[in-house]
C-alpha cells in the first residue's frame, strides 16, 4: 500500500487510531440522515472527534493539539473521508480556521479560541465567498468600519459551510476601501451571538448536512481585539489559508476515491455474468487497474505536497497540483466504480451515487480546478524562466540548434542580423 513509504510509526499509529474511530464511533444513520437533510450540522460528531483528540492535529500541544505535521494530517484525512465529503469537511474546518488563528492570531486569541475549537466545543467556519465574488477574493464588499474599540460589520457571505451550526466565523472584510486591493482586506473573528444572521441554507446535490448557507452581517459590533494579525493583513492570511483549504480537499479526496474503488473491487469479484465473475472481463478489470493507478498517483502527489509544506520549501505549485489532481482523480475513480458495477451503483443500495455527488463539489470549492491551473502554470513559468537550477540546456541538443535565422519568435526576429 503506497502510503506505507510516506509514514513513520507515529503516523501509522495515528492512521490506525482514526480508522478505529471511523469504524466504531460514526453511526451509519448519521450519514443517511445528513444526506436526507434531516441533520443540518453534525455537531455531536465534531464534539466526539474533540473528545478523541483528533481535531487540530498540527497545532501546538499547549493549545490541545498534537504538534504533528501535514503528512500526519493527510493520513488522518484519508481515513475520515471514507465517510464522505460532508463529514470530511466538518473534520477539516478546524484545521482551516485554526490555521489563521495559530499563524497570525495574538496570543490572547489563541488562548481564547484554539483550545475549545480543538476540543470540539466551538464549531468554526470560514466566511470568504460573496454573492458576486466567486473566485474574486479581492473584490469583496463586506465592510468593517472601526468606531472606537469596535468594528461595525455589514455585508454578506455565501457558501459558508457551517452557516447553520457554527459558533465562530473567520470573516474576510474590507477595512480600508481606498487602499490597493492587497491591502484593503482584513480577517475578523465574529461570534454567532454578536449578531450573525443565517439568511438561507442551500439545498445541495451532494455534501449535504454541513449547514452550508448565506449569512448576513447587519451593523454587527465586533471588538477590535478580534481582528487577526493587523488591518490589511487579509491577503497574507488568505495566501497561508490556501494551504489547509487545498490540502484538506486533496487529502479528503483520497478517502472517498479509495472507498468507492474498494466497493467496486469487491462487487466485481462477487458478481457473475455469462458464467464467470465480471472481474474476468477485461473491460471491467481494466477499470479497476486504471482506478488504483490514479489513486496511487494522487496519493503520491498529495503526500509529496504535504512533505513540501512540512519542510518549508516553496509549495504554492505543489499544493495547487495536489488539489487539482487528487480531486479530478477522485471524480474519475468514483465514476469508474459506478461504470464497473453498472446500474446497481446508480441506486442507494450502494453509496457510490453519493460519492459521485460529493466528488463534483470538491473540484469546485477552495478554488476551482481551473483556478488551480492558472496558479500551476504561473508558478511553473516562473520556475523555468528563472533558470536558477543550473540544469543542462537541452534546447541546444539538436543538430541545427544554432543555425541563424531559424528560431523566430517575433516579427523583429525576422530581420535580426540582416543588412
Active site amino acids: 245
Q: How far apart are CA 204 and CA 201, in angstroms?
A: 9
The residues near 130 (Cβ < 8 Å, ≥ 6 apart) are 139, 140, 141, 142, 155, 156, 157, 158
The residues near 322 (Cβ < 8 Å, ≥ 6 apart) are 246, 247, 250, 301, 302, 304, 305, 306
Q: How far apart are CA 350 and CA 362, in angstroms?
A: 20
Q: Are 63 and 55 in contact (CB under 8 A)?
A: no
- Residue 46 has which C-alpha cell? 465534531
Q: How far apart are CA 233 and CA 221, in angstroms?
A: 20
Alpha carbon dihedral 40, 207, 309, 259, in 10-degree steps, equals 120
Cβ-based neighbour number of residue 229 at 10 Å: 18
Closest CA to 78 of 182, 2, 133: 2
Amino acid at each position: 500500500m503506497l502510503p506505507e513509504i510516506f509514514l513513520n510509526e507515529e503516523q501509522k499509529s495515528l492512521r490506525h487510531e482514526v480508522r478505529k474511530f471511523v469504524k466504531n464511533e460514526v453511526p451509519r444513520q448519521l450519514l443517511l440522515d445528513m444526506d436526507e437533510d434531516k441533520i443540518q450540522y453534525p455537531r455531536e460528531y465534531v464534539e466526539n472527534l474533540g473528545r478523541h483528540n483528533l481535531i487540530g492535529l498540527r497545532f501546538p500541544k499547549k493549545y490541545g493539539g498534537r504538534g504533528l505535521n501535514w503528512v500526519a494530517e493527510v493520513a488522518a484525512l484519508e481515513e475520515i473521508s471514507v465517510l464522505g465529503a460532508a463529514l470530511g469537511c466538518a473534520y477539516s474546518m478546524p484545521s482551516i480556521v485554526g490555521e489563521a488563528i495559530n499563524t497570525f492570531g495574538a496570543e490572547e486569541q489563541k488562548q481564547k479560541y484554539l483550545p475549545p475549537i480543538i476540543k470540539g466545543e466551538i464549531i468554526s467556519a470560514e466566511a470568504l465567498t460573496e454573492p458576486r465574488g466567486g473566485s474574486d477574493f479581492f473584490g469583496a464588499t463586506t465592510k468593517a468600519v472601526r468606531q472606537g474599540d469596535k468594528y461595525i460589520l455589514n455585508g454578506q457571505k455565501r457558501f459558508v459551510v457551517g452557516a447553520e451550526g457554527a459558533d465562530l466565523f473567520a470573516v474576510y472584510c474590507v477595512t480600508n476601501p481606498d487602499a490597493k486591493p492587497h491591502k484593503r482586506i482584513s480577517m475578523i473573528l465574529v461570534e454567532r451571538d454578536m449578531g450573525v444572521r443565517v439568511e438561507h441554507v442551500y439545498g445541495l446535490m451532494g455534501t449535504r448536512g454541513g449547514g452550508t448557507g448565506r449569512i448576513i452581517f447587519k451593523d454587527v459590533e465586533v471588538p477590535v481585539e478580534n481582528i487577526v494579525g493587523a488591518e490589511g493583513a487579509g491577503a497574507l492570511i488568505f495566501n497561508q489559508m490556501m494551504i489547509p483549504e487545498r490540502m484538506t480537499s486533496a487529502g479528503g479526496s483520497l478517502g472517498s476515491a479509495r472507498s468507492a474503488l474498494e466497493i467496486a473491487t469487491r462487487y466485481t469479484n462477487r458478481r457473475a455474468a455469462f458464467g464467470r465473475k465480471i472481474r474476468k472481463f477485461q473491460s471491467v478489470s481494466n477499470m479497476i487497474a486504471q482506478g488504483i493507478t490514479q489513486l496511487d498517483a494522487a496519493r503520491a502527489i498529495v503526500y509529496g505536497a504535504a512533505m513540501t509544506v512540512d519542510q518549508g520549501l516553496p509549495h504554492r505549485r505543489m499544493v495547487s497540483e495536489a488539489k487539482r489532481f487528487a480531486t479530478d482523480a477522485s471524480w474519475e475513480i468514483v465514476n469508474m466504480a459506478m461504470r464497473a458495477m453498472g446500474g446497481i451503483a446508480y441506486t442507494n443500495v450502494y453509496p457510490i451515487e453519493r460519492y459521485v455527488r460529493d466528488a463534483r463539489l470538491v473540484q469546485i470549492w477552495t478554488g476551482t480546478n481551473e483556478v488551480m491551473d492558472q496558479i500551476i502554470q504561473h508558478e511553473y513559468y516562473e520556475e523555468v524562466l528563472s533558470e536558477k537550477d543550473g540544469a543542462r540546456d537541452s534546447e541546444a541538443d539538436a543538430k541545427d540548434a544554432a543555425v541563424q535565422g531559424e528560431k523566430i519568435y517575433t516579427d523583429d526576429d525576422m530581420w535580426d542580423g540582416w543588412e
